[in-house]
């Protein structure tokens, strides 16, 4: 190619690119960080990027998919949203991310592959850990759990805290997000072929065990997370199993806390996030590379674990989060999970733990509902 032809091609490319823009839907934590990255990218490339915060991405996607013209170019989703998004998302062309193509964690690749094609770019994960209110433990001179503790140690700690007059632990009775890790630690309801089976002997024993925690006064129901965080902050509840996304909030509030891995065999549920591309691949791929180059800042500020190898987590909780990730259970990206299991088990857990239903009947009803999606 002659120098003149090359220069002409370059000028045409510049003319086409400058002035074009694209939109990015973001959710969960980090809005300020995304805006900072978008501003830096616009300044570097003269390509405007519109960051649009979406409080309820699942509902927004459901509406937008019926009118594709309203979809963004790029959208951050979690695994629950993937079955819906994958129906229209463009296949991911990893060679267009040359610095990262072979660095994505396998849990991300497996979660976001549909119909033999990768349909989302893995981004980061939140993991479940146990938050301990250290002011409570110090007041009653109770040692913090050892890293290798088990469910027997956990129940002994619940009894000790209750004997001191403290509510030992709390979360929402209706939370499949918390229950799933217990369920898969004590048995197997999520089968390798994607089938979900909740009518098992292990689930029956586990739910009866959890019901005993309630009747013993060890476990309090918090239907909404803000109420739990408020009582934890005030020292009214000693422990809460929650996602690592709470770390920055508690730090900002100045709450005294420590992190512990969940007791064996309780497994951490890994909540992954990924980018789906709906339009304008030419504009979106360079932006993703630009964003990934600066991702360490997001991980450090918001306690995220990158799904790209070589991007470290530099926060103080790194060791506990790494252990949780190693022992983790990835949330399935299937309709049977997001529409079936999630809905059915919310009702089953809440009714049984409140003492409002016969267990086998509740599990049978839950299984029948899940089976509609598998």
Residue 211, burial from CB neighbour count under 10 angstroms (0-12, 13-18, 19+): middle
pTM higher than 0.85 for the full model?
A: yes
Residue range(s) of every CATH 3.40.190.10 domain in the chain = 13-125+271-330, 127-269+332-371
Which pLDDT does position 323 carry in this prediction?
83
CATH 3.40.190.10 is held by the domain 13-125+271-330 = yes
Q: What is the mean pLDDT of residues 308-331?
A: 79
Quick: pLDDT tens for 244-263: 999 999 999 999 999 999 99
State how far the Cα of 279 lies from the Cα of 277, in Å rounded to an integer: 6
Quick: pLDDT tens for 286-313: 999 999 999 999 998 999 999 999 987 6
Q: How confident is the prediction for the chain on average, in pLDDT?
A: 91
State how far the Cα of 49 lies from the Cα of 39, in Å rounded to an integer: 7
Nearest to 120 by CA among 270, 307, 303: 307
Among 8-12, 165-169, 232-236, 288-292, where is mean pLDDT lowest?
A: 8-12
Residue 34: CB atoms within 10 A of its CB come to 18
> What is the 8-class DSSP label of residue 68?
G
Is a pLDDT exceeding 80 seen at residue 141?
A: yes
In contact, 366 and 359? CB cutoff 8 Å: no
Is a pLDDT exceeding 70 seen at residue 12?
A: no
Nearest to 259 by CA among 188, 320, 181: 320
Is a pLDDT exceeding 80 seen at residue 347?
A: yes
CATH number of 127-269+332-371: 3.40.190.10
State how far the Cα of 279 lies from the Cα of 73, in Å rounded to an integer: 4
Which pLDDT does position 171 carry in this prediction?
97
Residues 6 or more apart whose CB falls under 8 angstroms from that of 8 comprise: none
Is a pLDDT exceeding 80 seen at residue 10?
A: no
């Amino acid at each position: 190619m002659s120098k003149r032809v090359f220069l002409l091609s370059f000028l045409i490319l510049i003319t086409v690119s400058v002035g074009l823009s694209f939109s990015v839907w973001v959710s969960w934590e980090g809005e300020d960080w995304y805006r900072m990255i978008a501003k830096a990218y616009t300044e570097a490339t003269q390509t405007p990027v519109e960051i649009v915060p979406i409080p309820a991405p699942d509902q927004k996607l459901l509406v937008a998919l019926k009118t594709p013209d309203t979809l963004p170019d790029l959208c951050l989703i979690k695994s629950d949203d993937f079955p819906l998004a994958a129906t229209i998302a463009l296949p991911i062309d990893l060679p267009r991310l040359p610095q990262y193509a072979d660095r994505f964690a396998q849990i991300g690749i497996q979660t976001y592959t549909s119909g033999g094609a990768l349909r989302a770019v893995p981004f980061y994960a939140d993991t479940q850990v146990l938050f301990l209110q250290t002011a409570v433990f110090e007041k009653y001179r109770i040692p913090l759990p050892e890293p290798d503790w088990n469910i027997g140690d956990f129940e002994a700690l619940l009894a000790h805290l209750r004997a001191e007059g403290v509510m030992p632990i709390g979360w929402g009775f209706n939370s499949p997000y918390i229950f799933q890790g217990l369920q898969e630690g004590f048995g197997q309801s999520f089968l390798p072929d994607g089938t979900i089976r909740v009518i098992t002997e292990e689930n029956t024993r586990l739910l009866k065990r959890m019901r005993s925690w309630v009747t013993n006064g060890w476990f309090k129901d918090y239907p909404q997370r803000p109420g739990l965080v408020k009582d934890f902050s005030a020292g009214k509840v000693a422990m809460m199993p929650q996602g690592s996304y709470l770390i920055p909030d508690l730090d900002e509030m100045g709450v005294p806390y420590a992190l512990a891995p969940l007791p064996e065999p309780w497994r951490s549920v890994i909540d992954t996030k990924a980018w789906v591309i709906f339009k304008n691949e030419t504009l979106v791929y360079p932006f993703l590379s630009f964003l990934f180059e600066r991702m360490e800042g997001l991980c450090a500020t918001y306690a995220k674990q990158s799904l790209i190898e070589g991007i470290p987590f530099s926060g103080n909780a790194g060791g506990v989060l790494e252990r949780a990730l190693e022992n983790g259970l990835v949330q399935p990206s299937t309709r049977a999970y997001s529409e079936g299991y999630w809905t059915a088990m919310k009702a089953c857990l809440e009714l049984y733990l409140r003492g409002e239903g016969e267990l086998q009947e509740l599990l049978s009803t839950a299984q029948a509902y899940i089976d509609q999606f598998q």
